[in-house]
Every structure is written in structure tokens, then in C-alpha cells.
Structure 1
Amino acid sequence: MFEMDKHVGDLHSMIVDRELEIIQSLLEEILVHSEVMMKSCEVCAELDVLLSLAQTSRMNGYVRPEMVEENIIDIVQGRHPLHELILDAFVANDARLLGGAGLGASPEYPYGSESDWNSVLLCTGANACGKSVYMKQIALIQIMAQVGCFVPAESATLGLVDKIFTRVSTRETVSKAQSAFMIDLNQVSLALRNCTARSLIVLDEFGKGTLSSDGAGLFCGVLKHLLHRGSQCPKVLVATHFHDVFTDDIFDVENWPISFCHMQVMFTSDAPTDAPTTTNGSESGYTTSQTGAGRHVHQGPVKEKITYLYRVAEGLSLNSHAAQCAANFGIPMPIVERAQHISNLISAHEVQQLLDEDMTEEEQADLKDAEAICKRFLEWDLDNREGFEVKAKLSWVLGMEDDV
């Protein structure tokens, strides 16, 4: 071996050098055709994408969308392209939006009808009823159409969208020194500063990360700002549980250019309830009670079972049915009933009853006596002092004498 190394040298380094020479010569031969090869790769990649879109469209029953010049979204029986793959049956829903139809604007309504065409579509309903999926599917259908794919719907007439802004889910991370609410505000701020009449904004429960009154105020302020843009108002999809803004007439439900919808639910119970209800539609067991034009509220006991129909209907739903939702997802019934009791007291402005629950019978009796004394004192006409003595009157007020 020593003699071979002396006469031949290190074979390994010679092999490596030869490999480098071969690779270099190969590169020189290939680089001459690099432009043709890159174009071939691009054509193959585009063909692969088109074949994938075609195969997916055929397998899932997608249809060709009609792209128009008008600034509209008109979807008939649309579906979520991903969510429907994990369900046995997906409930399809319609959607209709018109950009530039804010306050004071005079847009050209397609098809000669303006009753269903607004720039803002506001969706309400119970927790976990499918509001987020409904809004996401509209945005996804718009994206799929603009990349050249068929869409999951019976038909779709769509105008071009220049930007899509979302406030859908908040993802916190230690890499950002921001709270969840600050992240939401940044997303909405970006949308307000950059949106146009051709944009699409998706706001899913914006304002829920702070005090309910402050969140409701920000929610109303954002919508009013967008509507006051008039002909520059973008297309907006909104879901919210801030029902007070509708019951307190903060929003002009009748006159503002907003389309209101809600996700239908069905209530079933082993025993009939005493609360008055009216049947809406032909669904057995689907009950609502009317609280105004286009507003739906169901007031039922917690023991009723809620079934989500995932179907969009016109009008507002002013109840989130959080108690029934909590019971369905395994929260112990005593906790759910207690939560419903407190919620009812808050709605009736009778929160003071919670303070009375920890009082003994003797303390409650003393409280009633004190209330009676206050009422008698308020009934005392201090300006009219004729016919009685002050000490005697005070004795009557304090309950020390039956009469004066």
C-alpha cells in the first residue's frame, strides 16, 4: 500500500476532482437550454393545477361561475368547499351582495330589483349554528372563481373583487406583544384603511374581546363608517351576538341598507311549554315568537333540545341560545340552569335578587321592614304639618305606632 501511494497517489481526491469536472461540463450543456426547460416546467405545473381543478370540480359537482362587470355577489345554493367533505349532508344557502350601496348612494341594481341588494349582510343566530361557515364559504367561492375554478353552488354570478379582508379567528402568539383584542383591531384597521367599493370584508363577531358595551360600540361604529362611504361602501359580511344594538334601535333596521338574516334552529321537548310560540314554516317543532318586523326570538326553558338546521332565513334572531348550546356540549345541567337564571335576571334588570339569595329569613324580614319604613317616609308630606305632631309622625314612619 505504501508503494502504491508513492507511485499512484490519493485516488479519492482524483475521483472527486473528476466528478466535479463531469458535473461542470453537464451544467454547461444544460444551461444552454435553461429557458426552454423553465417554460416546460411552468406549462407542466399549470397543466397539473388545471387538471386538479377539473377533477375536483367533477368529483364534487361544482358549476362554472358567471363573471360580470357589476360589483355583485349572487350565489344560489352555495356550499363550503372543505366543510362539505367532512359531513354526510351539507345544507346549501344563498347569498346576495352589492358593492357601493351605502347610505346616500344610488347604485344600479342588477335585474331591476333593489329589495334584496345591499352592501352589508348581517347574520345572527345561536352559538354553533353555522354563521362562520356561511360567511367563509362566500369568500372562498369568490376566491375560487377568480383563480379560474368552478365553484360549489347551483349557480354563481360574481363581479371581480380586488381585496378580501377578514376578522374571523384570532391566533395569539408569543412572537407578537399583542393581546387578542389588539390583533382584532389591527385586522379591522387594515381593512378600513385599504378597502374599496370592490373589496370584500368578513367580520366574524368583531368586538367580543373586550367589555360588551365597548365592543358593541366599536362594532356599530365600524358598520356606520362603512355605510357612510356611500358609493364607495365595500361588500361586508358580518356575524354578531350584540343583540342590544337592534333592540335599543341603535341601528335603523327598517331604513338602513343592511340585509338581515339568521340561521334557523329547531327546538324539541318531551313536554309542551307554556310560553306562546308560533310555527314558522313547515318544519315540525321549529318555533319562534315575533318581536317586530323581521326579528325572531325563542324564549324556551333550558330543558328544550336545540337542533341546528344550518339554513339561512331572513330577519334577525335576538337570542344566542347559549344555555342550550352549553347543555348540548356537556356542561352540567345545574351550571346551565344557574347561568340561564342569572341571564334572565340581567335581561329583566333584576340583578339585585342575586344579593337576596344569601340572606337568612330574619335578614330578609328586616329588609322588608326597612323597605316599608322608606315607603312611609316618602309618603310623608313635609309641607303639610297641620293635624299631627312630628314625634308622633316619626313613630308612625318607624312603625312604632299603628296610627297617628
Structure 2
Amino acid sequence: MALDVDKDGRVGCAYYVAMDEELVLEEEIPMGGIEAVDTLLLLVQPTSVIIPNRAPGDLIEFLERDAYRFDGSEGSDGEQGSYILRHVVSAQFDYDAGKEALTKVDVEPAKPDPVQVQSLEEEPVQSIGSSSHNKLMRLAERINFESCLSVGCAGAVLNDLERRRTAEQPSTGEDGDFTFSVRSVKMESAEDTMIISADSLISLQILQSELHPNPQTRSSNSSEPKAKEALSVTGLLQALASSAQGKRRLRQMLLRPSTDLAVIRERHMSIEILLRTENSEIAKNMRKQLRKLKNPKTLLRHVRRGVDRVRGQLSLRVGDWKALLRFAMVSAQLKHATHALKGASHIPLFSKICSEINVKRFLHVGDIIIRTIDFQLSKDSGRTEILPGASEYLDGLREEFAHVRRLLAELRESVAREVPEEVAEHIRHCTVMPQLGFLVAVTIDVETGEGIYHGQHHPEGEWTMCFVSGDMVYYKNQLMLDLDVQYGDLPSRIADEEIEVIMALAAAVLEHEEAILSASELFGELDSMLALALAAEKYNWTAPTMTASNVIDIVDGRHPLQELLVPSFIPNDCALAGGCGASDLEDDRLGMSNGRKASFPSMLILTGPNSSGKSVYMRQVALIVYLAHTGSYVPAARATIGVTDRILTRIATRETVVNDESAFLVDLKQAAFAMNFATRRSLLLIDEFGKGTTADSGSALFTAYLTYFLGLGTERPKVLAGTHFHEVFENGLLMPGEDVAFGHMDVRLDPEAEDPDEAVTFLFRLLPGRGSSSLGVLCAASNDVPSDVINRARAIVALLDNNESLLEACSDMTQEDKRRLEEAELVARRFLALEIPSRGREQGGSVPIRDMLRSVLAPGEAPTSGA
């Protein structure tokens, strides 16, 4: 992954996906800064990050926090780093160099060139008619070349891939070798995609990683992942997918929510079809079939890699052929099951599966594999075995080799008859080996290290020793040499022919590579829809109504994660409407009256006790909006969701010991980011902003922050805010009105309860109006804060409620305090009245200092000096 940030905060990014052999460019993010870089790292999860030497200091500092440390020290997360950070010369990030590098990528054109211009010599990239210029024109169909920083990043990635191809060994993982070739290039655009920052992804628990349970794996730099998805929306839904391609496609959908209503509605319709009662068994069978699929990209990479010609072995595992055969069989069954779905003919996904998947081609591939590979014999021998009939020439070689093996016992007897009788028993056997041919094995003489007999005094001369193995020495004699001439190197010829057969099989399979990969993508899409349908069925989610209107109307909404952790969850409603836009005449597809829509506020301010559910409520609203844009059903009885372009949060303060920024400064940066990027279609979550400073400054900032958004008029976003600054409302700084609504979480108080846990009961139900108190003292008492602290806090709260001066109240002393102060004063006076004897006086007339001090602390008859 290559990253570049300019002085104006624009962010460019490009990365290479080794599994797909694909180069991806991200469209430039204006004013993105470090926040955008943080989000890209979270989405891509790179193993290596490249930046130019001229990169700004804050980018370098930010990336170094989580970079791998070769000295063994730990990063900000307590581990050795999740990626390798490399600095390269800035010239590798040059825009023109990036364009030049892209022209060298051999990718298939999206469509045939309408005009082909021939040139005698290769011209510069800018020359019209040159082959490089034609390639750039084709790439322009996929890439926005106005994203200069990202094009430069693509050049840096391509240079690094070239370095790896020439200077390093291929990367070997559990999925095989990566050749670092580029088969496709694409650009990810922010158009029609909801923007959600890294802070929001983590604050809302859309992504939540936990460390690998093995400490050695966590601290190593191996390819094995150091973390896994914990309790999060992504982890919750990915667990329901059946195949690797389904999990991957689902992650893509979750991390790039769509704002295209057509795409979202298509996914909702797909889920609706899969949830029909008459289709339940078919959907269940589809999940069962999808579990049998392995990732065909990995399998086809193994096929392209072929066999190991150096060792002359079939390095392609028989399990890969079996997986390809299974893919062909499952493809036919999935297409048949898709045909059987009721009401699915008008859904694009199911139509594509029925029309684009050519079952005959896949069955042909499966038939070729079945007629070539002997799976049972391969299982028994532990290597890939070729069936008889796959190659006439191979069958002939095998028959000839079988005949030779039957002759080996006779050969041993023939050799034994030609040697002296006393050593005949030491002729162990005859064999034939690849590259070595026919050999005779003789018992070894441990004293000499040679065979007990090796042709001594034989008319044809002594035998030639080839090698020693165990207690035997292998020799060539004249008979073995004659057999080599007669039969040749049969094992090697058989191995070579097996390689040719496998290569022919691989070539036949690769003829259908594009069809297999295309089918795999469709199956991944199908699996992701099946996972979302299963989530809707399992967790009682419903289909939201998506609209172009700028509203959020949720009835009985629930938090998708929190409800899994509590015995019962209290649902709540939410109704918000953003600004209508200065010149925006939207098509209102809600079917609600203008009066109802106009009654929705754009800002809801929540108050109420700590632990009453305010934060959970705000998060659940954001997650329902988020899930609706991924195409998923949502945890609510009913929901109407308007297109939301971004979700911005000021909730969690992510701190680290290597960051010299205070918690309050981090909060301010999050708030500033929201102010700079919020639009009228944005949803903002603001939880206790201003708590990191004094109450006066915090409440002032909170008020000014909300007032700023209200002052945007028709461009105001939808805002959910929670606070404990009650003085804001008591002083009339924020008043309820047409655009602002107050809400609080309901509680029941029992002032007579002796147990603090029974004094307050949280009902977790949202009610209109403002809560009168945060009940901080009661919350402290129920969380085992010492009673002395609680009593003192209650006394101070009572003084504040009565508008009494805390300075005067704190200066008043109890009778006990006065008595102790008087005693301390007497002690001090007695100490000052002491006459300490001088050092020069005789010891006999002095009083011990220790006794004099005791007299000060315990008054009585004080000893005197001799004076």
C-alpha cells in the first residue's frame, strides 16, 4: 500500500491485492488528512506501507506508531506492529512516472479500441497515436487520472512489485506462491458510497479486533493474522457467510455502504426473496453447497503454477483438483437451486446466475478432471496419480515398467549365479530408480564401507559404486548398463509424461478461468445475500424503506449487538430530518404528509442519568442507518431511512501513550473534522463533547458547537447529542423548538431505599423533554464508591442547589475539627517554649532530647535543664 499526503491535506492511495493480482487506486480525498489515512488503513489492512521521503512529519509519526519494529520494541497497541513501513525516494511518487508505469501493465481492455493507430517507433506517453497513449485511453475508462496523488502512489506500488519480482523470492503462504503480477487495475470512488471515518467504525463497533490468543503469533512477523474480528457488526454478519468469497464480499459491502438507492433496493429485494417461506429449504440447501466451495482464485493460481520441473514431481496437490471438481458440481447445483427460487426471475443477482453461469462448461471441466485424476489411488499413495486411459503413451510406459519390475527378481538370481557362491547371499536385490536406472544392491562391509562383493576378479571388471543407503551399497555392472540401454530411464520418462498430462489438464482448465472467476464472484454475492437473510431471520430484523428524502424515521429500533448481551432490550423510536437544501426539490417517497415531515427536528439533545442508555441509543440509530445503506435489513419494527452520505461521530476518545495530544485535544480534532465535512445529508453523533475541560468552558463549547449546526439553516445535518451540561438549558442557551428537540432516558427513583442499587431503576426508555439531573452521586454509590465520599458529595450538591457559596461552606469546621486544631496549636506552643541545652554543656547536666519531645506531645511535668 502506498500513501501520499500533500500540504493541503489531500490524500492519495493505491494498493495491491496479491490474492487477486489486482492494483486498486483510491480516488483522491480532499482535505482528508490523517483521519482519512487512518480510515484507509482500517479498510485495507496492509502488510506493507510505502511513503515518500518528502512525506509530512505528522504522517510519518502517525504511521510509525503501528509499524513493525525490527528491534523488537512494541508499538502503540502493545504489539510489534501490523505492517512494515518503508520510505522510498519521492521520485517514485511522481505523477508522470506513475502514468508511465501504468502503461506497462498488461491488462485486458474494457472494450475493443474503435481506432488502432500504428507508429513506426514508440513515442512518449503524451504522443497521440502511440501504443502507450492508447493504453492510457483504455485505462481512463477505469481510472480518474485527475487524482494525481493516487496515480503517483500507483507508480510507487508498481515499482515495489518490480523490485520484489527481481530481487526477492516469491512470497509463500498457506495459499501458495505469489508472483506479484498485475492482472487488473481499478479505482475505488467515493461516489455513491457513504463516508464513514475510522473513529466512527470503531466507536460504533462496526469493526472491533481482538488479539490472537497465541502470544507467540502476536509477537511474530509471520503471515498469520495477529488479530481476529471480535464482537462487532462485521464479525456478527461474516460468521453467517458460508464461503471465503462470501465473507470477503460481505466485508466489502459493510465497509463501503452504498448511497445508490437502486443498489440498496436490489439487495433488499434479494433478501426478501430468500426469506420467503416457500424458498426456505432452497436457501438452506444453497448455504450447504456454498460451504463446500474453496476460493477458486487460489486453486487457479496453483494450476497456473503447474508442476515442479526441477524435481520432476507433480507439485499440484490432488486436493486442488478435487476442489475444482467440487466447484464444477456445486456450480451446477447452485444454478439449479436459483432456478427453483420462487419470484426471483426479476432480481438482477439471480438472473445473472441463471444466464451467465454456463453449467455445460463447468461440467466439461469436471469431466476432464474425472477422466484424468485417479482420486482413490492418489489418496492411498499421497501423490497425484493419473488414471489409465488418460494418455496412451503413458499407459504404454507404465506397462513396460511393470514388465521390468516383474523381471527384477529374475535379474537378482542372474547376478547371484555369476558371483562366487560364498558371496551370493549378499546380493540383496535389483532395482530401478529415476535418473540412475538399473542397480544391484549388495550388503555393505562396515570395515571398508564398500559392498562385500563388488565384482572382484570378475572377467567384466569391478562394478561401479553409485551410492550407499543404510546397510546396502548400490552398484552398476555390465548387465545393469545393458538394461539401461535397452529400456532407458523409464521412471523419468513416466514422470515427464505425467507432467505433460497434468499440464494439458491445467491448460484445459485455464481455458475456462474467466468463467470460473466470474461464477465465483456471483457465488460470493449470493453468499453475502444469504448471510444477510439469515441475520434478518435469526435476529428479527426488518426491511427498511429507503427514500431520497432527508429523514430518519425509526420505530422500535434496537442495538444489533447490545440486544445479544442482555436478557431483554427496550426498543426506542427516532425521528430526525436534515435540511432540505437551498435548491433541492426532492421526490418524497415516504408517503407521509408534509406536516409530519416538517415536524421532525434536525437535532435531538439527550440528557439523563449516567448508565441510562443514552450512548447505546445514539449508536443504535447510527447502526440502523448504516445497515440500511449496506443493503441489510435493520433491527427495528419499522424504519424509513433517507440517503445519508456520511456518519460522523464524536464519541470515543482513542488515546495512546505515544500520542502527546490530550484527550480534550483529540475530542476537539474529531469535532473539527465533523464541522468541516458534515453536509445536510450527514448524521452526527456527539456524546458529551466538552467534558475534558472546566465546566464553564465545556458547556460554552458544547453550546457553540450545536449552535453552529443549527445556524446552517437548510444545510443543517441530522444531529444526535448527549450531555450532562444542564446549565446550558437552565440558562436558556439552547431552547427546544422546531429544529431542536429534547429527550431523556426514563428512570425511577426510590429515595427511601437503603441499598444504593435499589435507589435508582433504569428503564432505558426514551421520553420527550429534558432530564432534571444526571444522578451522578447515586451512580457513584451503586458502584462501590466509599460512603464518606458519597456523603461529602451529597452535601456539596445540596449547597449548590441552594446557591450557597462553596468557599464559605468548605471553610466551616466541625467541633471535632476545632478540637483537633486547638490541640495542634498547644503542641506547637509547647515546642516553641522548649529551652534546648547547648552542645557545649556537660553531659551530666543535660536532658535527653527524646524525653523533651515526649513532654511536648504528652504534657506533664517537663524535665528542666540544669539552669
How high is the TM-score relative to the length of structure 2? Answer: 0.35
Name the residue aligned to 1:282.
none
Is 1:169 matched up with 2:652?
Answer: yes
Q: How does 1:170-185 map to 2 (within 5 A)?
A: 170-185=653-668
Name the residue aligned to 1:94.
573
- Give the AA of the match of 2:639: A
8 Å contact kept, 1:78–1:152: yes
Q: Deviations over 1:69-92 (max 9, x none)?
A: 210000011111111111111001
Name the residue aligned to 1:288.
none
Of the candidates 747, 768, 771, which is equivalent to residue 317 of structure 1?
Answer: 771
Q: Deviations over 1:287-309 (max 9, x none)?
A: xxxxxxxxxxxxxx979700000
C-alpha change, 1:228 and 1:18, in structure 2 (3 Å) is: farther
Of the candidates 339, 350, 366, which is equivalent to residue 793 of structure 2?
Answer: 339
- Give the AA of the match of 1:165: L
Q: Distance in 1 between matches of 2:569 and 2:709?
A: 33
8 Å contact kept, 2:756–2:782: no
Of the candidates 620, 626, 643, which is equivalent to residue 160 of structure 1?
Answer: 643
C-alpha change, 1:361 and 1:94, in structure 2 (3 Å) is: same
C-alpha change, 1:357 and 1:65, in structure 2 (3 Å) is: same
- Give the AA of the match of 1:328: S
Name the residue aligned to 2:458.
none
Name the residue aligned to 2:844.
none
Name the residue aligned to 2:605.
122
Deviation at 1:32, TM superposition (A): 4.1
Name the residue aligned to 2:555.
76
Name the residue aligned to 1:351.
806
- Give the AA of the match of 1:323: V
8 Å contact kept, 2:558–2:635: yes
Deviation at 1:36, TM superposition (A): 2.3
Name the residue aligned to 1:265.
747
Name the residue aligned to 2:466.
4
Q: Distance in 2 between matches of 1:356 and 1:20?
A: 97
- Give the AA of the match of 1:4: C
Deviation at 1:345, TM superposition (A): 2.3
- Give the AA of the match of 2:685: V
Q: Deviations over 1:121-170 (max 9, x none)?
A: 11110000000000000010011111111111111111110000011111
Q: Distance in 1 between matches of 2:689 and 2:499?
A: 61
Name the residue aligned to 2:517.
38
Is 1:112 matched up with 2:594?
Answer: yes
Q: How does 1:277-316 map to 2 (within 5 A)?
A: 305-316=759-770
Q: Distance in 1 between matches of 2:497 and 2:813?
A: 92
Q: Distance in 1 between matches of 2:800 and 2:500?
A: 83
8 Å contact kept, 2:550–2:580: no
Paired residue secondary structure (1:360): helix
Paired residue secondary structure (2:649): strand
Deviates further, 89-98 or 61-70:
61-70
Deviation at 1:331, TM superposition (A): 1.7
8 Å contact kept, 1:96–1:116: no
C-alpha change, 1:235 and 1:363, in structure 2 (3 Å) is: same
5+ unaligned residues in a row in structure 1: which ranges? 9-15, 273-300, 365-404
Deviation at 1:37, TM superposition (A): 2.7
Is 1:360 matched up with 2:818?
Answer: yes
- Give the AA of the match of 1:55: L
How high is the TM-score relative to the length of structure 1? Answer: 0.72
- Give the AA of the match of 2:610: N
Q: Distance in 1 between matches of 2:533 and 2:519?
A: 21
Q: Distance in 1 between matches of 2:662 and 2:497?
A: 60
Q: How does 1:204-219 map to 2 (within 5 A)?
A: 204-219=687-702
C-alpha change, 1:241 and 1:106, in structure 2 (3 Å) is: farther
Q: Distance in 1 between matches of 2:666 and 2:508?
A: 53
Paired residue secondary structure (2:536): helix
8 Å contact kept, 1:269–1:304: no
8 Å contact kept, 2:748–2:762: yes
Of the candidates 614, 618, 642, which is equivalent to residue 135 of structure 1?
Answer: 618
8 Å contact kept, 1:77–1:94: yes
Q: Deviations over 1:19-50 (max 9, x none)?
A: 99999877665554332232222222222211
Q: Which has the higher contact order (CA 8 A, sep 6+)?
A: 1
Q: Deviations over 1:324-351 (max 9, x none)?
A: 1111122222321211212332342420
Q: Distance in 2 between matches of 1:325 and 1:43?
A: 53
- Give the AA of the match of 1:157: T
Name the residue aligned to 1:229.
712
Deviates further, 261-270 or 158-167:
261-270
Q: Deviations over 1:51-73 (max 9, x none)?
A: 11111111221111111121000
8 Å contact kept, 1:127–1:321: yes
Count of matched residue positions in the alignment of Structure 1 and Structure 2: 329
Deviates further, 326-335 or 47-56:
326-335
Q: Distance in 1 between matches of 2:562 and 2:498?
A: 53
- CA RMSD, Structure 1 to Structure 2 (Å): 3.5
Q: Distance in 2 between matches of 1:170 and 1:44?
A: 40
C-alpha change, 1:302 and 1:334, in structure 2 (3 Å) is: farther
C-alpha change, 1:122 and 1:222, in structure 2 (3 Å) is: same
- Give the AA of the match of 2:528: V
Q: Deviations over 1:85-129 (max 9, x none)?
A: 111110010000001179xx9999952325741110111100000
8 Å contact kept, 1:302–1:336: no
C-alpha change, 1:228 and 1:24, in structure 2 (3 Å) is: farther
5+ unaligned residues in a row in structure 2: which ranges? 1-440, 442-463, 468-474, 477-483, 485-494, 823-867
Deviation at 1:172, TM superposition (A): 0.8
Q: Distance in 1 between matches of 2:617 and 2:531?
A: 25
Paired residue secondary structure (1:316): coil
Q: Deviations over 1:253-279 (max 9, x none)?
A: 14462111000001124479xxxxxxx
C-alpha change, 1:147 and 1:158, in structure 2 (3 Å) is: same
- Give the AA of the match of 1:360: K
Of the candidates 313, 327, 339, which is equivalent to residue 781 of structure 2?
Answer: 327
